[in-house]
Amino acid sequence: MKAGTFRLTILNIFLLFKISHATPDMNTRFSKISRNFLEDLLHHSPVTSTSLGDHRFDHLLDEVDDTARTKELHAVRERLSELEALDETQLSRENQVDFALLQQRLEKTIWELETLREWEWNPLIYSGTSGTSLYLLLSREFAPLNERLASVASRCRELPRYFEQARATIVKEKTPQIHAETAVDQNKGILTLLDKLVVPHLADLAPKEKENLTEAIRIARAAVDTHQAWLEQELLPAARGNPRLSEELYREKFAFDLFSSLSPEELRQRAEAEMVSLHDRMHDLSVAILAERDTGFSPPENPTSEQKKKLIRTCLEFAYEDSPTAGNVVEAAYDSLKLTTDFVREKDLVTLPDDPLEIILMPEFRRGVSVAYCDAPGPLETGGKTFYAVSPPPADWSKEQVNSFLREYNLRSLHNLTVHEAMPGHYVQLLRSNATSSRLRSVLASGTFIEGWAVYSESMMIDEGFLPDDLLMRLIVLKWNLRGVTNALLDQLIHLDGIDEETAMRLIVDDAFQEEREAAGKYRRSLLTSVQLSTYFAGYIEVIDLRAETEEAWGDSFELKRFHDALMSFGSPPPAFVKALLLEQPLP
């Protein structure tokens, strides 16, 4: 035995001994700190409280002024101090995981408030929170309608104060123009939300309730209009901030958000290597597709990179011929949901939840960043409905732009999007996460693990035989694999290398085969967000690496459903913690 191995073994035995002798007192103290943290979080942000499924504060709207931030910072520092006074080696193994997640969350919150300071330059925080505050009360049937509408009325009356605080907080000169432009569009969506989700219910209310809500809607409209005028006339002309994070801020955010051993350099190296591999695989598959369609087809020997890409584009065109119309994206997504659900059940790939799932058009106040999302019930409530939201092409797009969108989201792409967002992706995983015994861990979910599972699901479905005779489906899934790789590269190239739009568009269109509208949206998204685009590929490689290690560790007893169920049984901690729990290894 090597000396290093011997020392590691002794250390593991020592740690296991410490864990097995965890003191009840230390676990009790940690549980109290955890409960107090959750209470702090729920009190500080009533909108977060509603989204998590705690409805005690549905009538309130967040405070977003200096006093509120100072209060939050004080509470976070107090919890961190209490946490650091514990001896984490005396905690149970489950609590050691939660200890690490809570400590990281507290440190990240301090960094966000004091260093990143997004609250002073990102107006999307405020348009998103205000719209979400109303939308959550109407989209989920957690209480009788009249009670939820009473909370809507209360929050509508709070909007003037909320927007006034937001305007006093935002530093116009630090705001990037692209963030200001997007806020202008999103803020208008709040009025649409009122018209489509609130006003139709006025007729269902008693006279006094109707009068109260009508007046509240009037107040809300005036507040939104005032804020809209400020966004258009004051913020937008003065917005001169740089949407790209500095290298220091990017690296710090990368470490906080991914909570991974991967460095930006390591992730980029794997992404670059994976891009070459995917191009080769897509080329080989394209040769097979063309040979199937034309028995006389003969591919060039030793093709260049450009020849390979030309062949791939030729075959992608075949897939684009099967596209939905602009008006039936939701209906097409439902067809995909039935197809994917039937396959998952037939192959028995994972234990499925019974909770309801509805596909909807994305609310306007949430559009402009991504094309789809999965909105699962909060971890503090049960039995609620999950929403798989799809954004239609914007109404002001040209015919050519709409066509570009529909080519990108052709029927096979919608199948894959549904795998990612719903079956067996986010819908399945998020509901399993909500069911974990640790409320804290459900709240402190890792986006890297969540996105990693969803991206892994795409390839796994094809590997298990989804639409086995459809070579174009396999090609589209490889294109989506390439999308995740490109996301990670684009994220770093934008924020670390500072590439311009033309260079970014070449990468997305020429190397990743994405349509112009998708590429333009992805470039925009990379400026509006940072690091989040890296979570897809980072999470994916950690999940596939973990599957390989699990197959080796379990040997002949490895079963795919057992692996999938075990993988999701720990909630949504970062992949490194899932690995430690699944394979019974020391915690990272």
Question: How do the residues of the chain divide into helix, strand and coil, expressed in percent and rounded to 5?
Answer: 70, 5, 25
CB 446 within 8 A of CB 452: no
Residue 19 has pLDDT above 60, yes or no: no
Beta strand pairing call for 357-361 and 386-390: parallel
Across the range 239-247, mean pLDDT stands at: 97
Q: What is the pLDDT of residues 263-279, one digit of tens each?
A: 999 999 999 999 999 99
The reported pLDDT for the residue numbered 2 is 39
| pLDDT confidence band for 24 (50 / 70 / 90) | confident
Which H or E run contains 139?
Answer: helix 124-139
Q: What is the pLDDT of residues 114-171, one digit of tens each?
A: 999 999 999 999 999 999 999 999 988 899 999 999 999 999 999 999 999 999 999 9
Q: What is the pLDDT of residues 534-550, one digit of tens each?
A: 999 999 999 999 999 99
Residue 76 has pLDDT above 50, yes or no: yes
Under DSSP, the state recorded for 493 is I
Distance CA(265)–CA(320), nearest Å, equals 35
Across the range 541-563, mean pLDDT stands at: 97
Token pair 């950690």 in the structure block, residue: 542
Q: What is the pLDDT of residues 489-511, one digit of tens each?
A: 999 999 999 999 999 999 999 99
Residue 9 has pLDDT above 70, yes or no: no
Q: What residues contact 386, with CB distance under 8 A and at least 6 apart?
A: 355, 356, 357, 358, 374, 375, 376, 377, 422, 427, 430, 431
Across the range 285-307, mean pLDDT stands at: 92
Residue spans of alpha helices (H) in 435-500: 439-443, 447-463, 471-492
CA distances from 502 to 150, 271, 347, 490 (A): 50, 21, 44, 12
Tokens of 574: 């970062």
Across the range 36-48, mean pLDDT stands at: 97
Across the range 311-331, mean pLDDT stands at: 92
Strands (E), 39-101: none
Across the range 23-50, mean pLDDT stands at: 94
| pLDDT confidence band for 392 (50 / 70 / 90) | confident
Residue 8 has pLDDT above 80, yes or no: no
Measured at the CA of 521, the angle between CA 109 and CA 463, to 5 degrees, comes to 85
Across the range 320-332, mean pLDDT stands at: 89
- Higher pLDDT, residue 485 or 397: 485
Residue 4 has pLDDT above 80, yes or no: no
Lowest mean pLDDT among 52-56, 67-71, 227-231, 328-332: 328-332
Token pair 């998204």 in the structure block, residue: 525
| pLDDT confidence band for 518 (50 / 70 / 90) | confident
R_g (Cα) of the chain, nearest Å: 25
Cis peptide before 424 (omega within 30 of 0): yes
Beta-bridge mates of residue 389: 360, 373
The reported pLDDT for the residue numbered 584 is 93
The reported pLDDT for the residue numbered 106 is 98
Q: Choose among 211, 205, 105, 478: nearest CA to 319.
A: 478
The reported pLDDT for the residue numbered 18 is 44
Token pair 């549905």 in the structure block, residue: 58
How much of the chain exceeds pLDDT 90, in percent?
A: 81
The reported pLDDT for the residue numbered 13 is 41
Q: Identify the three-state secondary structure at position 360.
A: strand
Residue 14 has pLDDT above 90, yes or no: no
CATH code for the domain defined by 3-116: 1.20.58
- Residue 438 CA, chain-centre distance (Å), reads 21
| pLDDT confidence band for 23 (50 / 70 / 90) | low
What order of strands is seen across the sheet that includes strand 357-361? 357-361, 386-390, 372-375
Tokens of 220: 């809300």
The reported pLDDT for the residue numbered 395 is 80
CB 410 within 8 A of CB 323: yes
For the question of whether the overall pTM of this predicted structure is more than 0.75, the answer is yes
The reported pLDDT for the residue numbered 98 is 96
Q: What is the pLDDT of residues 399-433, one digit of tens each?
A: 898 888 889 899 999 999 999 999 999 999 999 99
Distance CA(313)–CA(78), nearest Å, equals 57
Residue 437 has pLDDT above 90, yes or no: no
Residue spans of alpha helices (H) in 348-398: none
Lowest mean pLDDT among 108-117, 230-239, 362-371: 362-371
Q: Choose among 531, 37, 44: nearest CA to 256.
A: 531
Measured at the CA of 359, the angle between CA 147 and CA 441, to 5 degrees, comes to 70
Q: What is the mean pLDDT of the chain?
A: 92
